[in-house]
A and B are shown apart, each in its own frame.
Chain A
Amino acid sequence: MTITTPLDVERIKRDFAILSRDLDGKRLVFLDSAASSQKPESVLAAMDDMYRRHYANVHRGVYRIAEEATAAFEGARAKVARFVGAKSSAEIVFVRNATEAINLVAYSWARANLHAGDAIVLTHMEHHANVVPWQMLAAERDIEIRWIPLTPDYMLDLTKLDETLEGARLLSVSAMSNVLGTINPVRQMVDAAHAHDALALIDACQFVPHVRTDVTEWDADFVAFSAHKMCGPSGIGALWARRELLEAMPPFLGGGEMIRDVRLDGFTTNDVPWKFEAGTPPIVDAVGFGAAVDYLQCLGMDAVRDHEMRLTRYALDALTESFPDTLRIYGPRDVSVRGGAVSFLFDGIHAHDISQVLDEHGVCVRAGHHCAKPLMRQLGVPATSRASFYVYNDEADVDALVAALAMAEQFFAH
């Protein structure tokens, strides 16, 4: 049995310097962590220390600080691997972000294995990062893309899952929607894909920062996520993949680091994961990524999830009670099947205008299509506002959102 210590949000807020910024007398209320999270002092300090004391290129020099840099860089990879339940550090490829991770799979695995007439299965709730790389491939190779639709309560409609997977080579699906908050039944979908001899790629960019993740338990083939949404720096993310897949895949980018030998007539590739890491990697960002994982582990991912479920419940109730007739929420109501990204629209007020008025009150929310235009079309809306929560948000932040929304509604009503 595990005992979960509830998050001490007041203390956590003090770890994030930006949250004490004063915006013309107003407190910064940051509700856009689904786009990118803020960074705690420990991450900033780890990166600062790396630059000030241990910086050198990795896997190259034999001198002491080069050894230190390599140890820190590879240590970060091991932390990330453990954080998502990987069997080995070799299964973690550092990339720029989840988008690049998906593109790596599309360029390396898919272009080596998929041919005209093959099919890929996606869903209507995917981020453009998990749509466009496949559309590019489909156009190049005459590959069919099939879509899993939504139910009226914003879940995936899996009633025809088996039919859709028939003859497909890949299922690529988000673990948690960045618009609706919906958490998808990953294990069930992976099993279905495997039953049809298809591989499964999980876009876990929204999931890993918020819910304990175990890629082995998922039994997935590829998992993509970004550091910047989980308290780490921007510019680094990870592709987890089963080792034998990585070993069989052709390299993606060519250059230094990814080779074992280069001759005038060709090259041989390095071992995994370095085979996929051409050029000098984002060394300090990797160290920041490791520090972010340390920070989240220190809080405890079960405590993080409990906190976000409670706060999301509070927000859904507050929004519904405060604006019963004018506000519509796009996403499941049951917090056990959703994360803390809450999309909504006011009758007759565009999301962009709402966001502008909220900004006047120091409240940061996202307005727009959230890089999910196919989903927006399915919902029949041009844009939504989205408030999203993380470890440093509390009820007072939700109250500030509701108060600012009331003022926005009043502003546009007169």
Chain B
Amino acid sequence: MAGLEDLYREIILDHYRSPRNRGELPTPPAHKTEGFNPLCGDEVVVYLDVDPATDTVRDIKIAGQGCSISQASTSMMSGAVKGKTVDEARRLIRAFKALMSIHESKLEGEGDGADLAADLEGVRLGDLEALQGVVKFPVRIKCATLAWNTLQQGLDEIAE
């Protein structure tokens, strides 16, 4: 059985206690996107400032409230995409979801091991890998992916 230490790694608790990039950005020029987890009421707000000239995430701020997993994941996400190009950010989203939802995509027939490997290839997840333990607690996967789904939604909205 998976132990609590698999879920609550020290680095996760650190991001939960001291979240990075917390705050707001003026909209516009920044874009604001809200994400909700209807199961537990967790809320993530992502402010994205994308430089249209370079297609780069110039700045990102996060707000909202929720459990340690959702808030730590949000904090880590903000650090991981800041300064990255939109394409790089999208690759990170795919890689992170692959890390989280191997079982989901297999069930839905969307992908297999090869796709997963492709999603993860060449992407440095760094600290984010600490969240891998979440996979052993299926109920909590949604907590970990909330920030990333919100980021994806934000990037999609900006692209429109």
Contact = CB atoms under 8 A, between A and B. Distances in A.
A369 B143 CA distance: 15
A356 B41 contact: no
Q: Which of B40, B68, B69, B143 has the most CB of A within 10 A?
A: B40
- Interface hub of A353, A360, A367, A411 (most chain B Cβ within 10 A): A353
Contact of A352 (B13, B43, B67): B67
Interface string B106-141: 000000000000000000000000000000010010
A253 B137 CA distance: 40
A323 interface: no
Interface stretch (B1-9, B83-91, B95-103): B1-9
B41 A353 contact: no
B41 A360 contact: no
A207 B44 CA distance: 35
Contact of B4 (A360, A373, A376): A360
A368 B137 contact: no
Interface string B44-75: 00000000000000000000011111010000
Contacts of A412: 13, 68
Nearest to B4: A360
Interface in A366-399: 367-369, 373, 376, 382-383
Contact of A369 (B1, B41, B69): B41
A383 B1 contact: no
A357 B8 CA distance: 10
Contacts of B43: 382
Interface in B1-36: 1, 3-4, 7-8, 13
A335 to B, nearest CB: 27
Contacts of A360: 3-4
Contacts of A411: 4, 8
Given A24-B1, A357-B4, A350 B67 contact: yes
Contacts of A356: 4, 7, 137, 140
Interface string A323-353: 0000000000000000000000000001111
Interface residues of A, number: 17
Contacts of B65: 382
- Secondary structure type dominating chain A contacts: helix
Contacts of B140: 352, 356
B65 to A, nearest CB: 5
A280 B40 CA distance: 35
Contacts of A24: 1
A65 B66 CA distance: 55
B68 A350 contact: yes
B67 A353 contact: yes
B1 A350 contact: no
Contacts of B4: 356-357, 360, 411
Contacts of A353: 8, 67-69
A205 B133 CA distance: 38
A368 B41 contact: yes
Given A356-B7, A360-B4, A373 B67 contact: no
Contacts of A357: 4
Contacts of A382: 40-43, 65-66
B55 to A, nearest CB: 34
A360 B43 CA distance: 25
Contacts of B42: 352, 382-383
A412 B14 CA distance: 11
Interface string A16-50: 00000000100000000000000000000000000
A49 B67 CA distance: 45
A382 B40 CA distance: 8
A202 B132 CA distance: 46
B8 A352 contact: no
A348 to B, nearest CB: 9
A31 to B, nearest CB: 17
Contacts of B143: 352
B13 A368 contact: no
Nearest to A349: B68
Nearest to B7: A356
What are the 7 closest A-B residue pairs judged by CB atoms, nearest first? Answer: A352-B67, A350-B67, A369-B41, A368-B40, A382-B41, A383-B41, A382-B65
19 contacts: A350-B66, A350-B67, A351-B40, A352-B40, A352-B42, A352-B66, A352-B69, A352-B140, A352-B143, A353-B8, A353-B67, A353-B69, A360-B3, A382-B41, A382-B65, A382-B66, A383-B41, A411-B4, A412-B68
Given A24-B1, A382-B66, 19 more contacts: A350-B71, A352-B40, A352-B42, A352-B66, A352-B67, A352-B68, A352-B69, A353-B67, A353-B68, A353-B69, A356-B137, A357-B4, A367-B40, A368-B41, A382-B40, A382-B41, A383-B41, A411-B4, A412-B68
